[in-house]
Amino acid sequence: MKNLSPALTPLALAALLTACATSPGTPDAPPAKTATIVRTAHGVPHITAPDYETLAYAVAYAHAQDNVCQTAQVLVTARGERSLTFGGAASGQLGLRNLPNEQVDLFVAAHMDDQRLARAWDAAGAEMQAMARGYVAGYNRYLADHAGKLPAACNGQSWVQPMTLRDYRRANEITAVQAGIAALADGMLGARPPAPAAAQAPEPAPVSLADAAQALREVGLLDSPYGSNAWAFGKETTANGRGMLLGNPHFPWVGVNRFWQMHLTVPGQLDVMGASIGLSPVVQIGFNKDVAWSHTVSTGLRFTLHELALAPGDSTSYLIDGKPEKMTAQAVSIRSRGADGAVTEKKHTVWRTRFGPVVVNPRAGLTWTAARAYALQDANSGNARSGATWLGFGRATSVGDMRAAMNNLGTPWVNTIAADRHGNALYADVSVVPDVDAEQLRRCAPSQGAAALLGAARLAVLNGARSDCDWRRDPASPVPGLTPASRMPAVVRTDWVHNSNDSFFYTHPQHRWGAVSPLVGDDVVRRPRTRSELIEIPEMLARGKITPAGMQRQLFENRNLMGRMIVPDLLAACDKAPSAEAREGCAALRAWGRTSELGDKGAVLFREFWRTASTIARVYRQPFDKARPVDTPSGLAMDNAEVAGKVWTALEDAVKKVKTSGFPVDVALGQVQRPVFTDEPVFLHGGDEIEGVLNNLGDRAAPGVAARGLRIDYGTSYVQTVSFDERGPVAQALLTYGQSSVPGSPHQTDQMKLFAAKQWPTLPFHPDDVAKARVGEALRLTRP
């Protein structure tokens, strides 16, 4: 390993970077298999390499410099060793959920088919195989170079082990299925055949659809707080006549789903900058000289459930076309360490069908009785194609190229919103969705209660007693049974498109869609942020042409939509407030400006009130109306005595909670809202998902104000605006929580302070700009 001299001038470094980018065979270029890593402000690495394997090698090394302990934890999860390492009673992340370690490990033991994953990666192509090898080797090189010198959280720990290709594939598989079977991991592990006595028991009573919807919200499968905003503007609406993009993902601030910024160059082949989650050697959200893109979690369904008709007298056999077929009992075991340090073996049986594992969620109506059970078929399982999709985005010269890059159906669970320098704006939900259209839903309808789950809880259930209802009809196909790109919603416009996690249906008010599978989305607005965007984007356009500064101001204006829709009706009823607490709450909300800015008094109280009040049945004076999706639901049904009583109780409880936490009822948001991972006095603007604030911040792990304030653990993360000039991209971006997850690192909270101050750094992209912005030594890293 060799560091470039600190005395290397910006001019000389620019010449070297330009040579790397244009002429790898010249004497000034680094030797074969050597990458150059240059860091600029806030620790952003600019990595140049002669080939993709060396590029991935350097990406893994640079990422480990900032996040080695985080990656080591991810690998313990991928190996199914959390219970042995950290104890069975503790908990850990599995995708987007926190579960007991024993459940995480048993899921990994049952779900991972390493031979199948190896075949999937073989089919992903030579470039992605090379990048996987390079990433593994680069991480291991970092461990070897820093043995005994790792951050305190993992230094000297026996669980910090070299990565293997198996580990890498497994970690990526967990990311792929986190919107599918991983979200129901506990349901898979909780599925057990009914006791013999249950054969005589009646079928359970139907569950309410509202309860089913809430059960799925709690596991992140319906109205997940994790989401995003993205806007793309075309030449009709922008000040410079080129495309412009705002990308604003809302993702976790802790763990494997944290974003990390990077700029990647392979001379003559790739020059792309942006950010990624997971163990990724490619940019997942970002820009190059011609295009810029972002992603939002889409409404497309990643799996189907199959309602099994069980064979009479045998609850582990199910009928297919009238013939019994035996389930497979998959026995798995893990090692778990108890509080006393003793290690025991834990065994479990997972029941599998031709469709996939049996799952249960009684609150959603998914039970295993003597007559029926439910099996889950995950379309993203074995999806190793996503890296090639993102690599295609990084090479694209237009939104048309990006659209073509999606044809491999690698995009796992997101929409793509993009703009190009030619002035085009793209929306596409070309993601992984089972190929089940409206006709197949009708033909393969399950029981009435199960069929109703699609409209009420976005859960698709098919008749599992018919072989022709299995959408994965050709297992030998590279993408068996997925809805082809040609039948997924996509549009290119020259005015604007947007998405805030509702379906394609609301991409643009004037766009009309043809027939699209109900599994991709419907016409119901579930996200207040969608309504906010459909209000605020036209307002921006009414003020004039779009600029990056205008997009940035709009996002960080922090308007609280639900405050504006709800509080007037509450205040109008305040003369009937039934208690001192309710009157105190009314006074605080009367003075509130209905935004979620640092100085806003009343914002904390409203959030605590609305957490509860928004769940009251029939709370709205005007319920949702598809003919008025922007204006409804709105108001409070205070003329309904039952609703009004619950609303006052919610306000009283919110007042008590704020005061019990040690704050005045009208405490300013900027005295309470702060990140979960540090006690530095950094306070944050922004509002919760339920409030419709575009700049979405939330506290999922421990919701609600407490003595330590509102501790934010997800939300606005890698936020970027990108436009284009004659040289290429002009980008400003923030990684709100910083590049490093290491406590005490200068890059743990440096960008969070910029976020708090609403400052958007300009990103250096061109070689001379990178050279001028270099911080510290450049590192030249040679791959063996």
**Catalytic residues, which ones?**
228
- Rounded to the nearest 10 degrees, the angle between the axes of helix 528-543 and helix 561-572 is 100
| Coil, strand or helix at 762 | strand
| Coil, strand or helix at 179 | coil
**Residue type at 142?**
Y
- Containing 400, the helix (H) or strand (E) segment is helix 399-405
Which of the 8 DSSP states describes residue 177?
T
Would you say 400 and 457 are in contact if contact means Cβ atoms under 8 Å apart? no
- Pairing mode, strands 714-716 and 710-712: unpaired
CA–CA dist 476, 483 (Å, integer): 16
Neighbouring CB atoms inside 10 A of 635's CB total 17
Which of the 8 DSSP states describes residue 635?
S
Could you give the maximum distance between any two Cα atoms of the chain, in Å? Answer: 83
CA–CA dist 689, 697 (Å, integer): 7
Q: Quickly list H helices, 489-578.
A: 528-543, 548-555, 561-572
Q: What are phi and psi of 257, to 5 degrees?
A: -90, 10
Nearest CA among 508, 504, 487 for reference residue 496: 508
Distance in Å from the first CA to the final CA of the chain: 11
Nearest CA among 588, 557, 591 for reference residue 685: 557
CA–CA dist 77, 205 (Å, integer): 38
- Token readout for 565 is 């829709």
- Token readout for 610 is 């609305």
CA–CA dist 296, 282 (Å, integer): 18
- Locate tokens 């005490």: which residue? 744
| Coil, strand or helix at 696 | strand
**Residue type at 316?**
T
CA–CA dist 249, 398 (Å, integer): 22
Which of the 8 DSSP states describes residue 131?
H
Burial zone of 280 (CB within 10 Å; 0-12 exposed, 13-18 middle, 19+ buried): buried
The CB-side HSE value for 95 (13 A sphere, CA atoms) comes to 26
Going 46 to 49 to 51 to 56, the CA torsion angle's sign is negative
The neighbouring-strand residues paired with 727 are none
CA–CA dist 118, 134 (Å, integer): 16
CA–CA dist 600, 598 (Å, integer): 6
- Locate tokens 């004497």: which residue? 27
The CB-side HSE value for 76 (13 A sphere, CA atoms) comes to 25
| Coil, strand or helix at 722 | strand
Neighbouring CB atoms inside 10 A of 520's CB total 24
- Containing 462, the helix (H) or strand (E) segment is strand 461-463
**Residue type at 15?**
A
Q: Which residues contact residue 621 at a Cβ distance below 8 angstroms, ignoring those fewer than 6 apart?
A: 569, 634, 635, 636, 637, 638, 639
Nearest CA among 51, 296, 80, 12 for reference residue 179: 296
